[in-house]
């Protein structure tokens, strides 16, 4: 047995020495890569669980174009980037749908996307503000901000905070849940918002605030789902299994109370905290993967996704705002009424996010002592 034990260990310990160092470094300049997989006529879409990409929608596309669609699903927007990075040598998908503006700069910097031919004609300026280049097009948008439970605050006789600093007070101890920016895209969006919020204050230090929040027993979760469903008292989570309900405030979208009302016949006790520069205008993108085989199909799907008929239904099908010029949320069941619009969202540019995201994440990890 001893022999076998040591044999296994030696094989496994020695494996890395067996010629692994031939892997090459990332190229500095982007070139269009040859297809990473054979073109069998199927359009493969790398995405996360985007509700708009239903069977009905893809069937409609297939009926219109004759192109079959296959979804490769990962957990979230970060998973899309990870997947594209890992399969860089032989990409297995043709089109990515779901990277947001906190991830897009990294994807572009790593040459993971190639130019598309889809038209951006009917897309609103607000959706094109962040990135208007040839490598990706926005397909939905929404503002990430803090949501709070009106009933819980009223019961505790607390008024809604008028600044982020107030959240470090005793009355908010253990009552705020944040999805981690390291593992969640809304978490990442709110981190950017917090940086800009304190930047606007002049002498504020966002990481000191995060440190104070952790000292005030803020709950850090891996994803939006855990923060909103398990911990937040103001949302539908209290009707789902696993609910703990120990947070009066969490990060979600400014229009999340509208979505709550839409599904609950115009009732919600959740509202959003609209503080200047404490919300982030999140935009989600579609783009053709560098190394795609079905480029024509990918272009056609982007056109289809951005057509007025499909994109206008984003609020109902994807719980996000459409990017079509002039589109708005429906009024059904108080969807639009309960959806708040922030007066001043973050103005971080593509370049600022590209240059600083890793620095902010490292600083956040140090401040909150999170992995």
Q: What angle do CA 293, 294, 296 make, to 5 degrees?
A: 135
**Scanning residues 82 to 101, which ones bind other proteins (CB under 8 A)?**
82-83, 85-87, 89-90, 92
3-state secondary structure of 361: helix
Is the Cα dihedral 309, 189, 174, 275 positive or negative? negative
**Scanning residues 144 to 183, which ones bind other proteins (CB under 8 A)?**
182-183
* Shortest spacing between CB 333 and other proteins, in angstroms: 9
> DSSP labels for 118-187?
---TTB-HHHHSS--SSS-EEEEEEEEEEEEEHHHHHHTT-PPPSSGGGGGSGGGTT-EEEE-TTT-HHH
* Shortest spacing between CB 350 and other proteins, in angstroms: 19
Q: Count Cβ neighbours within 10 Å for each residue of 178-201 and write b for 16 or more, e otherwise.
A: bbbbbbbbbbbbbbbbbbbbbeee
Nearer to other proteins among residue 41 and residue 134 (C-beta): 41
Tell me which of 236, 327, 336, 356 binds other proteins, using CB under 8 A. 236
Nearer to other proteins among residue 192 and residue 320 (C-beta): 320
| Contact yes or no for 348/331 (Cβ under 8 A) | no
State both tokens at 174.
């253990």
**Scanning residues 15 to 44, which ones bind other proteins (CB under 8 A)?**
15-18, 20-21, 23, 25-26, 36-38, 40, 44
Q: Which residues pair with 144 in a beta bridge?
A: 253, 280
* Shortest spacing between CB 240 and other proteins, in angstroms: 5
**Scanning residues 286 to 325, which ones bind other proteins (CB under 8 A)?**
319
Instruction: Give the closest residue to 147 by CA, choosing from 266, 274, 261.
Output: 274
Residue 197 touching other proteins (CB under 8 A): no
* Shortest spacing between CB 280 and other proteins, in angstroms: 19
Nearer to other proteins among residue 26 and residue 31 (C-beta): 26
Tell me which of 30, 60, 65, 79 binds other proteins, using CB under 8 A. 79
Residue 336 touching other proteins (CB under 8 A): no
Q: What number of chain residues touch other proteins (CB under 8 A)?
A: 79
Helices (H), the chain: 2-14, 55-65, 77-86, 104-109, 125-128, 150-155, 185-200, 206-215, 224-225, 256-263, 295-305, 308-311, 314-317, 335-338, 350-368
Residue 371 touching other proteins (CB under 8 A): yes
Is the Cα dihedral 330, 144, 121, 54 positive or negative? negative
* Shortest spacing between CB 330 and other proteins, in angstroms: 14
Residue 4 touching other proteins (CB under 8 A): yes
Tell me which of 62, 64, 70, 169 binds other proteins, using CB under 8 A. 70
Nearer to other proteins among residue 141 and residue 221 (C-beta): 221
Q: Which residues pair with 283 in a beta bridge?
A: 141
**Scanning residues 96 to 135, which ones bind other proteins (CB under 8 A)?**
106, 110
Binding part of the chain for other proteins, among 46-54, 111-119, 154-162, 271-279 by CB under 8 A, reads 46-54
Nearer to other proteins among residue 145 and residue 164 (C-beta): 145
Residue 359 touching other proteins (CB under 8 A): no
Helices (H), 201-242: 206-215, 224-225
Burial of 354 (0-12, 13-18, 19+ CB in 10 A): middle
Residue 56 touching other proteins (CB under 8 A): yes
Residue 263 touching other proteins (CB under 8 A): yes
* Shortest spacing between CB 348 and other proteins, in angstroms: 21
Chain CA centroid to CA 275, Å: 21
């Amino acid at each position: 047995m001893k022999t076998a034990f040591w044999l296994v260990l030696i094989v496994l310990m020695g494996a890395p020495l067996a010629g692994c160092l031939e892997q090459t470094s990332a190229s500095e300049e982007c070139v269009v890569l040859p297809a990473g997989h054979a073109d069998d006529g199927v359009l493969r879409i790398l995405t996360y669980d985007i509700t708009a990409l239903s069977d009905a929608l893809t069937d409609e596309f297939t009926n219109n174009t004759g192109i079959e669609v296959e979804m490769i699903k990962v957990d979230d927007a970060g998973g899309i980037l990870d997947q594209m990075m890992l399969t860089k040598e032989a990409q297995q998908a043709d089109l990515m749908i779901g990277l947001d503006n906190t991830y897009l700069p990294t994807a572009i910097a790593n040459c993971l996307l190639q130019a598309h031919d889809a038209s951006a004609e009917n897309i609103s300026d607000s959706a094109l503000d962040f990135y208007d280049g040839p490598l990706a097009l926005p397909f939905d948008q929404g503002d990430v901000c803090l949501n709070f439970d009106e009933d819980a605050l009223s019961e505790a006789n607390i008024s809604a905070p008028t600044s982020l600093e107030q959240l470090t007070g005793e009355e908010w101890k253990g009552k705020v849940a944040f999805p981690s920016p390291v593992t969640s895209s809304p978490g990442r969006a709110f981190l950017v918002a917090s940086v800009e919020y304190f930047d606007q204050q002049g002498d504020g230090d966002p990481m000191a605030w995060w440190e104070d929040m952790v000292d005030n027993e803020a709950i850090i979760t891996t994803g939006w789902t855990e923060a909103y469903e398990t911990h937040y008292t103001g949302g539908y989570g209290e009707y789902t299994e696993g609910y703990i309900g120990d947070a009066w405030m969490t990060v979600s979208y400014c229009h999340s109370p509208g979505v709550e009302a839409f599904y609950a016949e115009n009732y919600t006790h959740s509202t959003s905290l609209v503080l200047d520069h404490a919300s982030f205008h999140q935009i989600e993108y579609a783009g053709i993967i560098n190394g795609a085989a079905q480029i024509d199909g990918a272009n056609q799907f982007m056109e289809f996704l951005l057509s007025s008929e499909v994109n206008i239904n984003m609020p109902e099908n994807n719980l996000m705002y459409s990017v079509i010029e002039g589109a708005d949320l429906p009024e059904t069941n108080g969807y639009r009424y309960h959806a708040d619009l922030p007066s001043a969202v973050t103005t971080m540019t593509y370049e600022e996010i590209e240059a600083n995201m890793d620095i902010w994440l490292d600083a956040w990890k140090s401040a909150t002592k999170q992995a």
